Chains A and B, each alone.
Chain A
Amino acid sequence: MLVPVQERLRQDIEGWIKSNGGDRSSLLPVLQEVQKKYSRISDYAMQVIADLLDIHPVEVHGVVSFYSFLKEAHKGRFEIRLCRTISCDMAGRDRVARQLENELGITFGETTPDGRFSLEWANCVGMCDQGPALLVNEQVFTCVTPEKVHDILAHFKKMMDINVFQQAEEH
């Protein structure tokens, strides 16, 4: 049966709120779940969450905009966050940054037109002994060189292509 997206979203949120305790302290886990499944936290999602937690949508907006890993807008399927903090900086993050921009054809803060990658800065990802480091979604890459940038991107492009292929088969 075809369930409208909004209805499915609401049901999901109801479930996540329940499984995370049901009160406001479930807000962050629920937002993380929404983002994981729907790749962003839409304005409708924020309002549903607010409604179910008996808080105001503007409070959810305040929370989402506070945390740099939560996002309201559509970003790339793979979010690349390059650590810009001092140790990675000293280890050559600028060259990695330039290579990332060159490979992807976008600058930091942007998303590729095909929606595959977005490029962001990160503040210290805790890989200071192995800089420069970057995160692709939840995966961490260290000692990244401009040369490795290409390999990392190729890896994810391939993953994406396989996924698209699988999805096409399922339909």
Chain B
Amino acid sequence: MTTMKTITNTLTFSAVDPDAGLKKALTKSRADVIAEMNASGLKGRGGAGFPTSVKWNLAAAAKSDKKVVVCNADEGEPGTFKDRVILADFPDLVLEGMTIAGYAIGAKTGIIYLRGEYSYLRQPLEAAIEKRRAANLLGNDIAGKSGFSFDIVIRMGAGAYVCGEETALIESLEGHRGESRNRPPFPVDTGFMGNPTIVNNVETLAWAACILAKGGDWFNSMGTEQSAGRKLFSVSGDCARPGVYEFPLGVTIQEVLDDVGADDAKAVQVGGASGHCVPAGDFQRTLAFEDMPTGGSMIVFGQDRDMLEVAINFLDFFLEESCGQCTPCREGNEKLLEGALLLQEGRCSMGYLKNLCALGETMQLASKCGLGQSSPNAFLSIVDHFKDEVLGRTAMAPIEG
């Protein structure tokens, strides 16, 4: 055994009857399945928070017999590992969710885009798919529903964070460099090979299966008005019990920190490298789409962490993981990194720092895709909240690595 079991609290996923959702879905009309999703208020769990039922509805309305359901298992956001846990522990729930989605939008093909770093999950997933085929839960006339055919293939990523962006993911599936597309068109209209395609996060699909099993109202009764239901959070960093935790949306950062045993936190990075750094003073903020939207990554920083080094680590990440096609993201991150290194050496003027912050705003506004648009967030929020810490440093030895 080369890894340990990930710590979790009680997960809803472990208490859902297998395939109850799929069986219920197949008794409903497609429109009713989407209506159920609509009632649940589920929004995309990858972080962008687009209402799932709207996405499904658009794809269902598109006219094509080659629609595709893509499960986005390219979980690359630093600090996120909940999808790994879901895929390892509840693969059937995800496959079931995909099948329901296929039924709802009228797709015959499902594709799991699994990140290359999770290659070890491929065999178990293949086995789970095979088992479902044998049980007539995939294939033709699924679960006796005549005319409903759906099957799932796994496609491996090859080490590119940007492929988590849905249009880059589709480019990658089509055999291109993982570079995001111009939008419109949106994948629900023109996706994989030009066909209407929905791209849903692993967790979203798993919740979809639960929602069909337990009802949209059940889901909607949890969380907040604008952020219905529960969500998995990946917690790591300076805390006693890092792991995957499920909370209703609207939970405060402080509540999460209390549960994971982080008593001495100075800040939390919410949303991974592309998210925001929240200082201790803001720990009462809530994790919800209306306040702090997140894909679930929470990285805890203790009192003695150097926040500038955190910013540098994230910028290093984006320098490599930007696809490099658009100017603001490709060149902007390098400038921010150079600026952060100047700060570290105590050689960055306030004027230049203001320049860099303005550049950060440009990157947020003018980059082609979500990666570039969110890449300056960490730098900007760290500079904003920890001015005293990052400014006026004296020269020190260069860092390694």
> Are chains A and B touching directly in their complex (CB below 8 angstroms)?
yes
Once the chains are docked, how many angstroms separate the CA of A41 from the CA of B30? 45
Q: Which of A26, A123, A130 contacts B321 (CB 8 A)?
A: A123
Is the beta-carbon distance between B400 and A94 smaller than 8 angstroms?
Answer: yes
Is the beta-carbon distance between B6 and A129 smaller than 8 angstroms?
Answer: yes
Q: Which of A31, A70, A124, A139 contacts B120 (CB 8 A)?
A: A139
List, in ascending order, chain A residues with CB within 8 A of B285's CB. Answer: none
Is the beta-carbon distance between A142 and B177 smaller than 8 angstroms?
Answer: no
Is the beta-carbon distance between A86 and B310 smaller than 8 angstroms?
Answer: yes
Check if B76 is an interface residue, CB within 8 A of chain A: yes
Once the chains are docked, how many angstroms separate the CA of A129 from the CA of B83? 13
Q: Report the minimum CB–CB distance from A164 to chain B (whole Å).
A: 23
List, in ascending order, chain A residues with CB within 8 A of B316's CB. Answer: 84
List, in ascending order, chain B residues with CB within 8 A of A131's CB. Answer: 236
Check if B273 is an interface residue, CB within 8 A of chain A: yes
Q: Which of B159, B175, B401 contacts A97 (CB 8 A)?
A: B401
User: Which of the candidate stretches B110-118, B183-191, B384-392 sits at the interface with the other chain?
Assistant: B110-118
Size bracket of the A interface: 35 or more
User: Which of the candidate stretches B19-27, B58-66, B237-245 sits at the interface with the other chain?
Assistant: B237-245
Is the beta-carbon distance between B317 and A123 smaller than 8 angstroms?
Answer: yes
Q: Report the minimum CB–CB distance from A50 to chain B (whole Å).
A: 11
Check if B2 is an interface residue, CB within 8 A of chain A: yes
Q: Report the minimum CB–CB distance from B72 to chain A (whole Å).
A: 14
List, in ascending order, chain A residues with CB within 8 A of B177's CB. Answer: 62-63, 66
Q: Which of B75, B83, B160, B175 contacts A27 (CB 8 A)?
A: B175
Check if A56 is an interface residue, CB within 8 A of chain B: no
Is the beta-carbon distance between A142 and B81 smaller than 8 angstroms?
Answer: no
A9-51: CB near B (< 8 Å → 1, else 0) gives: 0000000000000011111110110000000000000000000
A24's nearest neighbour on chain B, judged by CB, is B175
Q: Which of A85, A97, A125, A135 contacts B313 (CB 8 A)?
A: A85
Q: Report the minimum CB–CB distance from A19 to chain B (whole Å).
A: 11
Once the chains are docked, how many angstroms separate the CA of A126 from the CA of B238? 17
Is the beta-carbon distance between A129 and B81 smaller than 8 angstroms?
Answer: yes
Is the beta-carbon distance between B174 and A126 smaller than 8 angstroms?
Answer: no
List, in ascending order, chain A residues with CB within 8 A of B6's CB. Answer: 129-130
Is the beta-carbon distance between A126 and B178 smaller than 8 angstroms?
Answer: no
For chain B, the count of residues having a C-beta within 8 Å of the partner chain is 60
Once the chains are docked, how many angstroms separate the CA of A67 from the CA of B157? 8
Is the beta-carbon distance between A63 and B176 smaller than 8 angstroms?
Answer: yes
Check if B247 is an interface residue, CB within 8 A of chain A: no
Q: Report the minimum CB–CB distance from A65 to chain B (whole Å).
A: 9
Check if A140 is an interface residue, CB within 8 A of chain B: yes
Q: Which of B75, B159, B236, B400 contacts A67 (CB 8 A)?
A: B159
Interface centre among A28, A69, A129 (most CB of B within 10 A): A129
B307-342: CB near A (< 8 Å → 1, else 0) gives: 000100110110011010000000000000000000
B400's nearest neighbour on chain A, judged by CB, is A94
Interface centre among A63, A86, A130, A143 (most CB of B within 10 A): A86
Check if A138 is an interface residue, CB within 8 A of chain B: yes
B239's nearest neighbour on chain A, judged by CB, is A129
Check if B269 is an interface residue, CB within 8 A of chain A: yes
Is the beta-carbon distance between A28 and B158 smaller than 8 angstroms?
Answer: yes
Is the beta-carbon distance between A32 and B156 smaller than 8 angstroms?
Answer: yes
Check if A127 is an interface residue, CB within 8 A of chain B: yes
Q: Report the minimum CB–CB distance from A41 to chain B (whole Å).
A: 11
Q: Which parts of B213-242 form the interface with A (CB within 8 Å)? A: 234-238, 242
Given that A70-B158, A123-B321, A129-B235 are contacting pairs, would A87 and B79 also be in contact in the complex, using a CB cutoff of 8 Å? yes
Check if B78 is an interface residue, CB within 8 A of chain A: yes
Once the chains are docked, how many angstroms separate the CA of A89 from the CA of B161? 18
Once the chains are docked, how many angstroms separate the CA of A143 from the CA of B55? 39
Check if B299 is an interface residue, CB within 8 A of chain A: yes
Check if A102 is an interface residue, CB within 8 A of chain B: no
Given that A24-B174, A68-B159, A86-B299 are contacting pairs, would A128 and B400 also be in contact in the complex, using a CB cutoff of 8 Å? no
Give me 4 other A-B pairs in contact (C-beta within 8 A), A68-B158, A69-B159, A86-B273 excluded: A24-B174, A127-B81, A129-B244, A140-B117
A-B contact pairs, 8 of them (CB 8 A): A66-B177, A84-B313, A86-B299, A87-B236, A87-B299, A90-B238, A126-B115, A138-B120
